[in-house]
Amino acid sequence: IGTVPVGRVETGTIKPGMIVCFAPVMLTTEVKSVEMHHESL
């Protein structure tokens, strides 16, 4: 699976396939899936 970041979206939206940057480490990666309470969104 790899790294599974946990948190919340402060502004905007997030969808599978998007390229995102995680602060403060400035790690850029592609979103594979989005879940809330163990259910896919």
Q: Is the pTM of this model over 0.85?
A: no
Preceding peptide of 5 cis, ω within 30°: no
What are the pLDDT digits (tens) for 1-41? 788 888 888 889 999 999 998 888 998 999 999 998 889 98
Q: What pLDDT score was predicted for residue 12?
A: 92
Q: 12 is in which domain, residue-wise?
A: 1-41
Q: Count up the domains in the chain and report the number.
A: 1
Going 34 to 20 to 29 to 25, the CA torsion angle's sign is negative
pLDDT attached to residue 7: 86
Tell how far CA 39 is from the center of its chain: 14
- So what's the pLDDT on residue 28? 92
